[in-house]
Amino acid sequence: MDPFSYLSVLISIVLALGMTRVLAGIGEMLQARSRRHIYWVHVVWAVNVFIYLVIAWWVFYRWRYQQPWTFLLFVFVLISPTILYLAALLLFPREGAIDESVNYKTHFYANHRAFFIILAFYGPVDLVDSLLKGVHHFLELGPAYLISMALFLTGVTIAAITRNERYHQCYALFFLIQTIVISFAVFHTLA
């Protein structure tokens, strides 16, 4: 087994745990509909986090030619999946509370600051990650990547600061559209 294949197992596990948390949270929402007060902004963020987890798994493959792997590099590469896993955890109330009544709007705004602060760490880590893959790789990402990252950092910072519902409604949708557009523009191939 080559080093990339070996190390990708743990990265995949952390990403899969995040995906599992999002899917389990949505499953609980559907299972206990009568005791769940669903908030559409929260649902959009669940979709956003899930898409980001998928993208993180997709772009991790770009590390396949890295030689040699150092422990420090591996720990660094593990930071992004960990950030996304923590964001997925914050998005939903604790598991197993299926008999309890949950208002997802209340939960979202009670946890929005921590959620967006953790999500904000993803931006600088992703920039460094892209640079560590080489300047050529970073330049190949093009201006769309840099513009997207600037919008990401600005948006999540404002989202962490404000409780303005209109902002959160607009930003959740903007984030979803931006993520989909950038995914197809920048990350459309595995290589």
pLDDT tens digits in sequence order for the chain, 191 residues long: 888 889 889 999 999 999 999 999 998 888 877 778 899 999 999 999 999 999 999 888 888 888 888 999 999 999 999 999 999 999 998 866 566 788 899 999 999 999 999 999 999 999 998 898 888 888 888 888 899 899 999 999 999 999 999 999 999 999 999 999 888 776 666 55
CA dihedral over 84, 25, 186, 64, signed as positive or negative: positive
36 beta partners? 102
Read off the DSSP letter of residue 37: E
Domain boundary assignment for the chain: 3-186
Contact 182, 148 (CB under 8 A): yes
Give CA angle at 152 (25, 71), nearest 5°.
75
Give the residue carrying structure tokens 């669903």: 38
Residue 44 to residue 55: CA distance in whole angstroms: 16
Closest Cα partner for 88 from 23, 172, 170?
A: 23
Token readout for 89 is 């955890």
pTM of model > 0.85? yes
